[in-house]
Amino acid sequence: MVVAYSMILRLINDEHVYHVMLIYITVDLSLEEPEEFVRRLRALATEEKGNGIIVQVVDADSIAGRDHLLEVLAQSLEAERRSCMLARRVEVDMILRLACTRQISDAIERVGLKKERGDALLVAVVCEEDSYDNSMKEDDGGERKGGEGWKEEKNDGSSSYYYNLLVSFKDRLKAMDGVKRVYDDEVEVGIRGEEKGKEEGDGKEKEKGERKRKGKEGEEKSTAYEHLASIHGISEQELTSCISSNKLVSILAERANLLHR
């Protein structure tokens, strides 16, 4: 996709609080298979025994952006809470839902890391122990609120233990063999992962450069859109009939949500 990001946030539903880190990374898989890289990645995440970090990493060009990742993650965490996951582990349930399939081999082929491509999106999740917060109580009864759905909050580091767990993992990730770069901020990247520089110049040259940049962005977004629709088998008719502003995310999230039925 066109936007890369690095962020830590919280997902909250009833008494359950999860700290989530999304990172765009570039990797070199020339010396090992993607499966071995993912195995080392998960071992790195759990170096500190008992930290409970769940990790999944997927091909960046196969995902419809941040909203797609978070929507599917919320589904997987809710499925775990209700004991109706598609697999025994959250990270496996998640990749199945991202690929909209029940078959793990199909999911890896569709959205898993590719040896020939180095752009990846990493999701790391840790659940707060004793997550129930007094701020979630009803004003007049002290009972927990339920049925309100998942709520997203910016993680400003106030829950320092869990925030620092994820930051520590990110720091170790930067030194991991095979990882070329870990993006620290939200940046724009091209469809193949090239960072975009700012246009230079004054007056008409700058205006011309801006028009050229916007035209190129439109072409890249269109190419990415068609690429994702092709990967996930989304027809033109489906896209036309969808009334959501983010058609791809809406269609893919609905498909993922219906997998268990």
Q: Which residue range is the domain that position 138 belongs to? A: 3-190+249-257
81 and 72 Cβ atoms separated by less than 8 Å: no
Residue 203: per-residue pLDDT: 57
Q: How many domains would you assign to the chain?
A: 1
138 neighbors 147 (Cβ within 8 angstroms): no
In a domain? residue 84? yes
Tokens of 33: 């298979």
Total-model pTM: 0.78
- Residue 203 falls inside a structural domain: no
Q: What is the pLDDT of residues 210-227, one digit of tens each?
A: 555 544 444 445 566 788
Q: Work out the average pLDDT over 79-98.
A: 95
- Joined tokens for residue 17: 């609080």
Domain for residue 213, yes or no? no
| CB 60, CB 1: distance < 8 Å | yes
Question: Average pLDDT of the chain?
Answer: 78
The phi and psi torsions of 4 (rounded to 5 degrees) equal -105, 155
136/223 Cα distance (integer angstroms): 43
For 143-198, write each residue's pLDDT tens digit: 333 334 666 666 666 557 888 889 999 999 999 999 999 988 765 544 444 454 44
* pLDDT of 7 over the 50 cut: yes
Residue 164 lies in a domain: yes
Calpha distance 247→261 (Å, rounded): 22
What is the CATH number for 16?
3.30.2380.10
Handedness of CA 95, 6, 231, 37 (dihedral sign): negative
If one compares 121 and 216, the residue with the highest pLDDT of the two is 121
